[in-house]
Amino acid sequence: MKKFILLAAIILVGCGSNDEPVKVYEPVVINIDISTGMSYNEVECLAQNIYFEARGEPFEGQIAVAHVVLNRQKDTRYPSTLCDVIREGPISSWFLEEQQRIVPLRDQCQFSWWCDGLSDEPKDLEAWGRAMYIASGVIAGKYEDPTNGAIWYHSNTISPNWNFVTRTTAKIENHVFYR
């Protein structure tokens, strides 16, 4: 079995007074089994979704959000790659200095972070390392699906108009999962 190992050293240096300890994190080793057919780009897309949709959730909640994306990828109603599943939604095409740019229509995507108009660059390096670790583990089949095959979810603070036509499969921390 071929494996690609990504070594990401995450070091955060405190900027406070001399009395504050400096935070130093050990390197995170992420194993990506390339025999699964997933590229690094696909792992990174899934990690972004975990980071922006569930970084404040416990480990199981982050795994659950990742599995929803994998469950959609396996469903013929959704795109066939993880990145396309995550970026699904209406787009707009416009030109900037003779360069075409395609952008998602604001607040109309399957995953809200993708088209919220905010930066898609992770700022919390510890949470980003955890998201990459979880993404590679979920893709490699290391974690069972705690959502029981869910293809939708939402925060338990809202009640979308589509949840009455679906079946609840799990409730994990601050998310409700459906199939």
- pLDDT for 17-73, tens place per residue? 455 565 555 555 555 655 666 677 889 899 999 998 898 899 999 999 999 999 999
Q: Rounded to whole angstroms, what are the CA distances from 22 to 9, 13, 18, 33, 117?
A: 15, 5, 9, 34, 33
Checking if the pLDDT of 16 tops 80, the result is no
**46, 139 contact by CB (below 8 A):** yes
> For residues 50 and 86, what is the distance between their CA atoms, to the nearest angstrom?
10
Identity at 141, one-letter amino acid code: G
Sign of CA dihedral 125, 34, 83, 170: negative
CA 118 – CA 20 distance, rounded (Å): 32
Structure tokens at 2: 């071929």
pLDDT at 105 over 80: no
pLDDT of 76 > 60? The answer is: yes
Largest pairwise CA distance in the chain: 57
**pLDDT at residue 166, as a whole number:** 76
Q: What total of structural domains would you count in the chain?
A: 1
Alpha-carbon distance 58 to 48, whole Å? 16
Give the dihedral sign, CA 103/106/108/110: positive
Report how far residue 112's alpha carbon sits from residue 155's, in angstroms, rounded to the nearest whole number: 12
For residue 171, the cross-strand partners are: 176
Residue 167 sits in which domain range?
A: 3-178
pTM of the model: 0.70
Confidence grade of residue 15 (pLDDT, cut at 50, 70, 90): very low
pLDDT at 4: 44
For range 76-94, the mean pLDDT: 76
Q: How many helices (H) and strands (E) does the chain have?
A: 4, 7
pLDDT for 135-175, tens place per residue?
Answer: 989 998 999 999 999 988 888 887 777 766 678 888 888 88
3-state helix, strand, coil in the chain (%, to 5): 35, 20, 45
